[in-house]
Amino acid sequence: MSAAARKVRASVVGATGYAGAEAIRLLAAHPLVTLVSIHGRERDGVPLAAEFPHLAPLGLTLRSGVPEPGEADVVFLALPSGASAATAERLVAGGALVIDIGADFRLRDERLHHAWYGEAPRPQTLAAEAVYGLTERARDRLPGARLVANPGCYPTAALLALAPFAATGLLADGPIVDAKSGVSGAGRTAARGYGFSELDASVSAYGLDGHRHAPEIEQGLADAGATGCGVTFVPHLVPMARGLLATCYLNLTDEMETAALRAVLAEAYPGEPFVHVLDAPPATKLASGTNHAFLSAARSGPRRAVITCAIDNLGKGAAGQAVQNMNVALGLPETAGLAALGVVP
Ligand SMILES: NC(=O)c1ccc[n+]([C@@H]2O[C@H](COP(=O)([O-])OP(=O)(O)OC[C@H]3O[C@@H](n4cnc5c(N)ncnc54)[C@H](OP(=O)(O)O)[C@@H]3O)[C@@H](O)[C@H]2O)c1
């Protein structure tokens, strides 16, 4: 029986974290999915409502470990880097499609992966077959995939903005990606410096001496055709719970007016259900709680342009795109379970 002929059985591992909870929220409302199990370490028998009261209406209970072989058709892993690789290998061997929302399979270059994510081993053969799931650029490789490496939140926004220029030879050299994220991007575990008192009414940059999402953006630009294109990537924390804005500054190989820049984006995403080119620069709120990405483009000088992209870091930047990837990989309608529009104001 094909997966599309009956409901897809899905499990979420890392259900006590933000990305896992968002995956549960989306999958519970997905018309073609049954959520068969949710897993949190050392939480066997704990009601999900004890961790996330907003999900109390689902009446779900956490289990420890991972689903049994054959129990789930698809397993979403929402774990910190280094914690997914071995689990993914076991689950794939058991026949499940694995969608890793974490970073264990994103960087294809083994040396780069270990330089940024530590020496924890990852299964080579599986790493080689992982599909990097920026859905709009991976649609032909997703069907039949056994492992999807869901992109990072910053790379998703940056690559949606820049890949069309890389693919058309318009990107002259290394662009600057100046990006801002809501605090949920750092995960649920409170760390020093992430409390309300320190974050409220304040904005700061971080990772200036190198951030692990820079090589991921560079890998995506190379995939799109701009090989060897280095990127200056500066993330910022802003005092909001959700939302991510990437403001990308690029030098062009040609003189282009704003209308022509917008046309490059529009031609890259014709009829895309989740990528929208706007005339005015987008705000993060447009995407809040959704899988949508909003782009805009403007000329900023001779052969210079600014492209902005707004997403929800937990939506298109994590769980939303993970569900979109599941849909495409399993031959379901791509928009199934992802109908939500932004809540504005
Ligand atoms: N937050 C975002 O906007 C976002 C966007 C894109 C991708 N991601 C990626 O998604 C993954 C999860 O991020 P998150 O923001 O949801 O983090 P989070 O809120 O900190 O949640 C992490 C989850 O992993 C569990 N966990 C932690 N260490 C573990 C270990 N050693 N073994 C097994 N489970 C462990 C935690 O369980 P406990 O509750 O027991 O600690 C929790 O369920 C990360 O790889 C992150 O990079 C996050």
Q: Which domains does the chain have, with CATH numbers?
A: 8-151+316-329 (3.40.50.720), 153-313 (3.30.360.10)
Q: Are 72 and 96 in contact (CB under 8 A)?
A: yes
Pick the residue whose CA is nearest to atom 39 on ligand 1: 16
How much is the pLDDT for 5? 66
Nearest CA to ligand 1 atom 30: 83
What strand order describes the sheet that includes 33-39?
A: 62-63, 33-39, 8-13, 74-77, 97-100, 147-149, 131-132
Single-letter code of the amino acid located at 160? L
Q: Would you say the CB of residue 184 lies under 6 angstroms from ligand 1?
A: yes
Q: Is 101 in the pocket of ligand 1 (CB under 6 A)?
A: yes
**CA 19 – CA 76 distance, rounded (Å):** 10
pLDDT of residue 3: 46
Report the nearest atom of ligand 1 relative to the CA of 103.
45
Nearest to 317 by CA among 163, 157, 159: 157
CA neighbor of 13 nearest in space, from 27, 26, 1, 23:
23
Q: Is 40 in the pocket of ligand 1 (CB under 6 A)?
A: yes
Q: In this structure, which residue's CA is closest to atom 26 in ligand 1?
A: 79
Q: Measure 144 CA to ligand 1 centroid, in angstroms.
A: 26
- Give me the pLDDT at residue 246, please: 98
Question: Can you tell me which atom of ligand 1 is nearest the CA of 81?
Answer: 45
Residue 192: predicted pLDDT: 84
Burial class (CB in 10 A: 0-12, 13-18, 19+), 130: buried
Q: What is the pLDDT of residue 1?
A: 43
Report the chain (345 residues): mean pLDDT per 10 consecutive residues: 73 98 98 98 98 98 97 98 95 97 97 94 94 98 98 98 98 96 92 89 94 97 96 97 98 98 98 98 98 98 98 98 98 98 95
pLDDT of residue 190: 67
Please give the number of the atom of ligand 1 that sits closest to the Cα of 79: 24
| Phi, psi for residue 120 in degrees, rounded to 5 | -50, 130
Which alpha helices (DSSP H) does the chain contain, by range?
A: 18-28, 48-51, 85-93, 110-117, 124-129, 135-138, 153-167, 196-199, 213-224, 258-268, 320-329
The pTM (predicted TM-score) of the whole model is 0.97
pLDDT of residue 125: 94
Active-site residues: which are they?
153
Q: Is the CB of 46 under 6 A from ligand 1?
A: no
Amino acid at 93: A
58 Cα to the center of ligand 1, angstroms = 21
- Residue 338 Cα, ligand 1 centroid: separation in angstroms? 22
Question: Can you give the pLDDT at residue 300?
Answer: 97
State if residue 83 touches ligand 1 by the CB under 6 angstroms criterion.
yes
Q: How far apart are the CA of 179 and the centre of ligand 1, in A? A: 21
- Pocket lining: 325 vs ligand 1, CB cutoff 6 Å: no
